[in-house]
Amino acid sequence: MPYDLSQQLDPAHTGVLVFECQEGVIGKTSNLPGLVAAVRDGQVVDQIASLLSSARAAGSRVFYCTIQKRRDGVGNPCNTPIEMRLRAKETGSADAPDLGDIVEAIAPTEGDVVVERQHGMTGFFESGLDAYLRNTGVRTLVVTGVSVNIGVLGTAIEAVNRGYTVVVPTDCVAGDPPEYAEQALRYSVRNIAFLSTRAEIETIWKR
């Protein structure tokens, strides 16, 4: 059923989160070709760029969550298959993957907040994100980025567990394969977050 999100998206109490949109995840240096293709085919970066522009104009704060591990691999357990795929391709390398900068088209501007994680798979884990949100008066979190498979879903759950309202613009996220992302949004994410679109959110802010 459709929801009127006008109250939840009050710009003064809304934050937009861009999750792991880094060159080594969705850009030229990524080892995740399926995810790169999903982002490209869905024009996700362009959609996020538009949403961020509207958010800043409306007075909403923009937050970025990136993964930045120690390059020497110290303290990095490399205990998941996805991390092994993200590692440098050299056989036997102990180095952690360098996922690089946020892609240029949606790079942070003055006043945006960038939080870096060294561990974990989701946005709130040992990142300081929760403190930044609370200290800037955020009550609703608009989650964008990748991927619906893990990061977007997990971060949405963490946000709800902490009392935030979550909105996910479906054209500002991606997963691999896209068919799975559609099912995850339909059957999992929509039970914990309000699904919307970039255009719908922008329309509310332009009021």
pLDDT at residue 121, as a whole number: 87
Give Cα 148 distance to the centre of its chain.
9
Tens digits of residue pLDDT in 187-205: 999 999 999 999 999 999 9
pLDDT tens for each residue of 44-67: 999 999 999 999 999 999 999 998
The DSSP string of the chain is -----TTTT-GGGEEEEEES-BHHHHSTT-S-HHHHHHHHHTTHHHHHHHHHHHHHHHT-EEEEEEE---TT-TT----SHHHHHHS-SSTT--PPP---SBPGGG---TT-EEEEESS-SSTTTTSSHHHHHHHTT--EEEEEEE-TTTHHHHHHHHHHHTT-EEEEEGGGEE-SSHHHHHHHHHHTGGGTSEEE-HHHHHHHHH-
Residue 2, pLDDT above cutoff 80: no
Mean pLDDT, the chain, integer: 92
What's the pTM? 0.91
Q: Which residues pair with 73 in a beta bridge?
A: none
**Rounded mean pLDDT of 12-30?**
95
CA 39/CA 48 separation, integer angstroms: 11
pLDDT in tens, 104-150: 999 999 999 999 998 888 999 989 999 999 999 999 999 999 999 99
**Residue range 161-180: average pLDDT?**
98
Share of the chain above pLDDT 70, in %: 93
Q: What is the pLDDT of residue 98?
A: 78
The answer to whether residues 157 and 192 touch, using CB atoms and an 8 Å cutoff, is: yes
Provide the percentage of residues in the chain whose pLDDT is more than 90: 76
Residue 96 confidence (pLDDT):
66
**Do 138 and 167 contact (CB within 8 A), yes or no?**
no
Predicted local distance difference test score (pLDDT) of residue 86: 65
Is residue 77 packed enough to be buried (19+ CB in 10 Å), middle (13-18) or exposed (0-12)? exposed
* pLDDT at residue 89 tops 60: no
What domains are defined for the chain?
A: 11-206 (3.40.50.850)
pLDDT range class, residue 93, cuts 50, 70, 90: low
